[in-house]
Amino acid sequence: MATKSKYLNILNFMRFLAAVLIMGYHFVWTHTEEFALHGMVINSVLHHIFAFGKLGVPFFFIISGVVIMQSSVNRDWKSFILLRLLRVMPVYWLGVILVIICFLVFPKEILFFEPILKDVTNIFFHGDWYMRIIDMMNQYLLQFIRVPLQIIFPNLHLESLLWVGQAWSLREELKFYFIIMVMLTLFTKIESKIFWLLPISAVLYFTLHANIVGYPWCEYILMGIAIYLYRERGGGFWLAVLILQTLFTVYVERNYYFEHQDSVINPFSFALGDVLAIELIFLCGFFIFITHYPKFDQFFAKKIFRNLGAWSYPIFALHEYPGLFFIQYMHDKFNLDINILIIGTMCLIIVIAAFADNYFDRPIQKIGKTFLHKYFAVK
């Protein structure tokens, strides 16, 4: 029988590692062509190091699956959804505000990184920009309407602007918040009931050749849920559930990247689907190992790892467009080496994330929980 789990301390370090990998990938790979247009050349060392940054995406979603389940234990639907929104939305909106500041502060000519940015720069340089900002806020609030609608009507395309480029992943998480919220209204305890999401997901995939909540991101979160169920319940049945969900996630993932012709992850031309498949199988084995050898996890109970975990979400939410604008501006203004700028900007983002966590997010979490407890009886 597996040891009963509470909180996995190693998740803190894993979240931080995932955030840094994704940040490096965005800075080095996602915008390489745009950098080249401006005469900036990234050396092969950084290319090799951060070529595997996409591996951070499964990290984040799998960890989210575990955390979503932990957050639902002994809570009703109201407490669950309010506390999850309190956890993710303040830093998310800080990211939105930071992007707005970038548009207002940095020269217009450097805002070239994404086609969508070329269009929306007009918001701040032509017409009633303050009315456009209000419209943008409304677009973000519509995310909460889009989530249940897209679950009910998966073929309905309800696109809105993503002003925080990496926020698409938060949208995928919101879909699972909605599912868990519905299940908590139907069942007192969902630990065993949510097991049915795993085979239902497989049936939907093979019958509709699509996943009702998005793939392969959905399967990553379901793999995290399977990890949680195995760690809490143990035994051969739940081990089989975890292994089968991992193999199905590998299958969906490889098909997804094959269909999207995303075949290259690095200069060595490794197939992305194959590399991610190896990562998923490794993570499955790793969580099985750490379930049976919990002493290994105690090493990561130190304060430094808790802090790294707390900084990971601000790093993820704040880094992309502000970091890219800063790199471009410093290069154009002072002709600094692009490789030094990338490493320096990553360090700067980590420092900003630490300040955001200590002086913005933690006070808001404390005030928010007090407010929810007083006026909504949320524990």
Highest mean pLDDT among 33-42, 74-83, 135-144, 266-275: 74-83
* pLDDT for the residue 143: 52
- Provide the pLDDT for residue 97: 79
Cα(147)–Cα(176) distance, integer angstroms: 9
Number of Cβ atoms within 10 Å of the Cβ of 282:
10
Reduce the secondary structure of 302-368 to three states and give it as a string. CHHHHHHHHHHHHHHHHCHHHHHHHHHHHHHHHCCCHHHHHHHHHHHHHHHHHHHHHHHHHHHHHHH
Q: Which one has a higher pLDDT value, 362 or 123?
A: 362
Question: Higher pLDDT residue, 156 or 178?
Answer: 178
- pLDDT (0 to 100) of residue 252: 84
pLDDT bin (cut points 50, 70, 90) of residue 283 is: very high
Give me the phi and psi of 129, to 5 degrees please: -65, -30
Across the chain, mean pLDDT equals: 77
In this prediction, residue 246 carries a pLDDT of 94
Whether the per-residue pLDDT at 130 is higher than 50: the answer is no
The model's pLDDT over 220-257, given as tens digits with 9 standing for 90+, comes to: 999 999 999 999 888 899 999 999 999 998 888 877 76
The confidence score (pLDDT) of residue 120 equals 43
User: Whole-prediction pTM value?
Assistant: 0.83
- Residues 137 and 161: beta-carbon distance below 8 Å: no
Residue 173: band (very low, low, confident or very high) from pLDDT cuts 50, 70, 90: confident
- pLDDT band at 44; cut points 50, 70, 90: low
What does the pLDDT read at residue 75? 86
Task: Give the CA angle between residues 158, 163, 165 to the nearest 5°.
Answer: 90
